[in-house]
Amino acid sequence: MRTQSGNLVLDDSLRNLYIAIRKVGAQLVAVRFIYRGKKWEADTPEEAIRLRRDLEMVDAREPGADVRAEQELRADSPWTPDTFWNFVQTIKPNQKLAVVALLESSSLWAGDLAKAVGIHEDALGGVLGGLSKQLRQLELRPSDLYQVHTDWTGGERRRLFSTQPAFRLAAEEVGWPERKVDAASTKAKRKH
């Protein structure tokens, strides 16, 4: 169906909706990511996380999917065990805390990441800049380690950091970080 100006009704409706959204000060934001070679898009970081988890659950139900996905990740990954250890051994303590926090949570908002490192959110840029420098020395990019999704809500910027699956796989492969064993549970196991 067309309007008097010759436009499709849906085109005019979408244009008016967009104008109305902009008028109240909101912005349309899309989070794009690639999963198993296919491009996906979500309207919010939360929706992107939920969609990716749903995709991973669907894959998990497919026979042999986990093995195939792991093989694809390894084949395309810049993270060899040597590269991984070279990176981990050169990063500074706060950088290591940031990487461990991302590995343990898979994704964190900037404020939560800063809290895990024990710094103010304003200082997080220095820690991430140091990580970038170490990655460049190994001919890697920050995007080989993590992704950042930026969300503008109410005029405020919020950043969500997510660990790259290839980096997570490399960490699991070499057993890093080593899990701290609770001393009490170790004593209890020895007595049995």
Residue 126: predicted pLDDT: 97
Residue 37: predicted pLDDT: 63
Residue 8, token pair as written in the block: 């499709």
Would you kindly state where each structural domain of the chain is located, as residue ranges?
A: 24-181
For residues 107 and 159, give the distance between their C-alpha atoms in angstroms, rounded to a whole number. Answer: 10
Give Cβ neighbours of residue 18 (< 8 Å, ≥ 6 apart). 28
For residues 79 and 20, give the distance between their C-alpha atoms in angstroms, rounded to a whole number. Answer: 46
Sign of the CA dihedral with 141 first, then 67, 37, and 105 last: negative
What predicted TM-score, i.e. pTM, was given to this entire model?
0.60
Out of 1.10.1060, 1.10.10, 3.30.1490, 2.60.40, the CATH code matching 24-181 is 1.10.10
For residues 162 and 49, give the distance between their C-alpha atoms in angstroms, rounded to a whole number. Answer: 9
Residue 69: predicted pLDDT: 66
Rounded mean pLDDT for each run of 10 residues along the chain, 192 residues in total: 60 72 71 74 83 81 68 81 94 97 93 97 96 96 95 89 92 84 48 48
For residues 146 and 37, give the distance between their C-alpha atoms in angstroms, rounded to a whole number. Answer: 18
Residue 106: predicted pLDDT: 81
